[in-house]
Structure 1
Amino acid sequence: MRLLSFNIQYGFGADGVYDLTRAAQVIAAADIACLQEVDRHWSRSGFDDQPARLEALLPDRYTVFGPGFDMDASRIEGGRVVNRRRQFGPMIVSRWKILWSRLHLLPLAAMIEPINTQTCALEACIAAPCGPLRVVSVHLAHVGVAERLAQIAALRAALPTVGPWSGTDDEPARNWTEGQDEPPCPAPMLWMGDFNCEPGSAEYRAIVGETPYHPGARYRGAMVDAAAGLGLHSHEKIIAGALRRRQLDHIFLDAALAPRLTRVWTETDCPASDHFPLWAVIDL
């Protein structure tokens, strides 16, 4: 199973050119893709509905989009209101059905400068051939360490052990369950996305459960970094006039899934974004 974590930078490539088809070509090679920075109705991307465009470009895939950022983009046409929302957030694209999904808004710190926007995590359960698989497309704040630590703690607390509903339907006339069984919610998870932190950082240690005071010790509930020790650069950008290469995108696996990991790499020759696609293969 080919997994992809990819911040598509709202369709703008490393060359500054807007071309969503390049991102779609990358995504097409994945079985499950967790995307970040997907736009809907922004002037910078020609007011495109990018989730709809990606669905059209990938007609054999299942998708779900979860905007954390949502603003008015309505307009008046012919005397009537055309309702549109200017949105920004993560998306999940899958070769197999997405059984359910839910959106988790992450803590947002008030800023004076620079701009700080609402971020979120999109959770989904996918009907993989091996059985239901739980994945989370994550985008943490870019501004500061304290905010990201708060977001990681909030995300852990917000990931329950049940799906979007549980129990027995006591109002069958209203058909809450549509005749379906209680939705699966497997405990093992994959977290994939733009975490805006590098290996060894406080945020990274919080996710993988490391303690700086007792080398080798790990807390329960820790995730495993798929690319641990590989030194993969996943982000390349000109900052203050200098090219900076950093490892901000990660694929974290539950310890139960880690033994099935067979390969991890970044696609460093991909021009579709200023983030390199981060790939992993797991044997399920």
Structure 2
Amino acid sequence: MKLVSYNIQYGFGSDTRYDLSRAARLVAGADIIALQEIERHWQRSNFDDQAEMLSRLLPGYHWVYGPAFDMDASEWRDGHLVNRRRQFGTMVLSKLPIVWSRLHALPMRRTLRPLNTRNAALECMIRTPAGPVRVLSLHLAHIAAEERLEQIDYLLAEHRRAPSEGGPWSGTDDEPSRNWTHGESEPENPPAAIWLGDFNMEPGSAEHRRIVGSTPYHRGAAYLGGFVDAAAVAVEPAGDFHTHEKIIDGRLAKRRLDHCFVGGMLAGRVKSIGAD
């Protein structure tokens, strides 16, 4: 399977041109696609419903959109109220059915400056050839490591609770006439998970160590309930690559801010990883 993560910056390229189709072409063909910074009904992107547009640009995919925040964008037209929401969040597209999904609103620190916005992680349970897996498309805070660490701690706690918490429902339906379950068996909430997204952190940082731990003697160590960096365990050496470029103090900085972390039980299944 091929998994792709891409922060599309609401459809704007480095040339400042707005074009969702370019982003769609880059990720087309992957089995599972995790997108960040997808918006609905913003002035800067022509009030487009980008989630719906991407679903048309990428036909044949099951998809779920999760807004990190939701604001009123309604307007009156010809004397009638048109209810509309301005949203900003993450998206998952999958060639395989997304059995269930849920959205995690991540902890946020209120700032005086600069602008800070709510972040979210969209969790989707997908039955893959490797078994049922919880795939998360997420976007962590961009301002400070302390905020990112709080968000990571939240996600790790949710991860550890997953097997005992269950999925959308559990137990026996004692009211079959209401057809709560549509005749389906209890959906899995497996321990296996993959985190994809824009983490706004670099390898070796405190946030990175919070996820994978510090393993100076066994670099590729994998704990059953923990995560490994896909770049550290890939069968084919990952080499040096970056996912973000920015001018810092007059110099071009090339940084790896986007990552893929896989649950320990999947560590031996990572073939290759890289960046376009």
TM-score normalized by structure 1? 0.88
**Number of the residue aligned with 2:169:** 165
Give the alignment's TM-score, normalised by structure 2.
0.91
Alignment partner for residue 183 of structure 2, among 167, 172, 179? 179
Map of 1:279 onto structure 2: none
Residue equivalent to 1:138: 138
- 1:203 equivalent among 194, 200, 207: 207
Structure 1 position 14, deviation (Å): 1.3
Name 1:15's counterpart in structure 2.
15
Alpha-carbon offset, residue 210 of structure 1: 1.9
Between 69-78 and 103-112, report the one with greater CA deviation: 69-78
Q: What residue is the counterpart of 2:235 in the other structure? A: none
Q: How large is the Cα RMSD of the aligned pairs?
A: 1.8
The superposition leaves residues 66-120 of structure 1 with CA deviations (integer Å, 9 ceiling, x where unpaired) of 0012111111112121111111111001111111100011001010001111101
CA contact (8 A) 1:69 1:88 kept: yes
* 1:27 counterpart residue number: 27
Give the drift of 1:34. Answer: 0.8
Q: Check 1:233–1:180 CA distance in 2 against 1; reply closer, same or farther (3 A cut).
A: same
**Would you tell me which structure has more helix in proportion to its own residues?**
2
> Identity over the aligned pairs, expressed in percent?
55
| Aligned: 1:264 with 2:267 | no
The structure whose RCO (Cα within 8 Å, separation 6+) is larger is 1
Q: How do 1:1-284 residues align onto structure 2 when only pairs under 5 Å count?
A: 1-159=1-159, 160-161=162-163, 162-210=166-214, 216=218, 220=223, 221-228=225-232, 230-239=239-248, 242-267=251-276
SS at 1:17's partner residue?
coil
Deviations 1:6-55 (A, max 9, x none): 11111111111100001111121211011111111111111110000001
The offset of 1:150, in angstroms, is 0.5
For 1:95 and 1:188, locate their aligned partners in 2 and report how far apart those are by CA, in whole Å.
19
Give the distance between the partners of 2:135 and 2:186, measured in 1 at CA.
18
1:240 shift after superposition: 5.8
Q: Is the partner of 1:262 in helix, strand or coil? A: coil
* Letter of the 1:137 counterpart: S
The separation in 1 between residues aligned to 2:222 and 2:29, in whole angstroms, is: 35
